[in-house]
Structure 1
Amino acid sequence: MISELRAKSQITIPKDLVDKLGLSEGDKLEIYEKDGIICIMPVVVYPKKYLDELREEIEITRLKVASGELHMFDNIDAVFEKLEEN
C-alpha cells in the first residue's frame, strides 16, 4: 500500500489496516525510525498513578511467590492438578 505525504507531514493510513488493527480516531500511535524504516505502532497511555500502583502490586506478588506464600503455575494442567490435591 502506498500513502502520500501531505501538507503538514500528514499521511493517511489505509482503511483496511485501520480496520485490521481495530484503530479508531483519537488512538495514540508511536512513530519511530529503525534502520531507515518508519515504524508506526499503536500504544495505550496510562496515568502515572495507575502504573505506580501496578508496579507496587507486582512487587508484592513477586515477594509472595519468593516466600512461598503464593504459588505460580507453568500451565493450566498444573493448576488443575493442584486443585485436585485439595
Structure 2
Amino acid sequence: MLAEFRAKSQVTIPKELVDKLGLSEGDKLEIYEKDGVICIMPVVVYPKKYIDELREEIAETKTKIASGEQPIFDNVDALFAKLEEN
C-alpha cells in the first residue's frame, strides 16, 4: 500500500489497515525509526497511578509465590478448576 507524505508532515493510514487494526479517531500511535524504516505502533496510555498500583500488585504476587501462598497452575484448566471451587 502506498501513502503520500503531505503538507505538515501528514500521512494517511490506508483504510484497510485502520480496519484491520481496529483503530479509531483519538487512538495513540507510537512512531519511531528503526534501521531506516518508519514504524507506527498502536499504544494504550494509562495514568501513572494505575501503573504504580499494578506494579505493587505484581510485587505482592511475587512475594506470595515465593512464600508458597500463591498457587501456581500448570494450565488454564487447572486455574479454572480452582476458581470454580470457591
- The answer to whether the superposition gives a TM-score over 0.5 is yes
Matches within 5 A, 1:15-34: 15-34=15-34
User: Displacement, 1:73?
Assistant: 1.2
Task: Give the 3 Å change call, closer, same or farther, for CA 17–81 of structure 1 in structure 2.
Answer: closer
Q: Which runs of 4+ in 1 moved over 4 A?
A: 80-83
Let me know the Cα RMSD of the aligned residues.
Answer: 1.6
Q: Which runs of 5+ in 1 are unaligned?
A: none
Paired residue for 2:65? 65
Identity value in percent: 78
Instruction: Kindly provide the amino acid, as one letter, of the partner of residue 14 in structure 1.
Output: P
Paired residue for 2:43? 43
Give secondary structure in 1 for the equivalent of 2:24: coil
Whole-angstrom distance in 2 between the partners of 1:82 and 1:15:
44
Instruction: Kindly provide the amino acid, as one letter, of the partner of residue 8 in structure 2.
Output: K
Q: Which runs of 5+ in 2 are unaligned?
A: none
TM-score by length of 2: 0.88
Whole-angstrom distance in 1 between the partners of 2:81 and 2:24:
43
Whole-angstrom distance in 1 between the partners of 2:13 and 2:24:
11
Instruction: Kindly provide the amino acid, as one letter, of the partner of residue 59 in structure 1.
Output: A
Task: Give the 3 Å change call, closer, same or farther, for CA 70–13 of structure 1 in structure 2.
Answer: same
* Alignment: residue pair count: 83
Instruction: Kindly provide the amino acid, as one letter, of the partner of residue 26 in structure 2.
Output: G
Give secondary structure in 1 for the equivalent of 2:12: coil
Between stretches 68-77 and 13-22, larger displacement belongs to 68-77
Give secondary structure in 2 for the equivalent of 1:74: coil
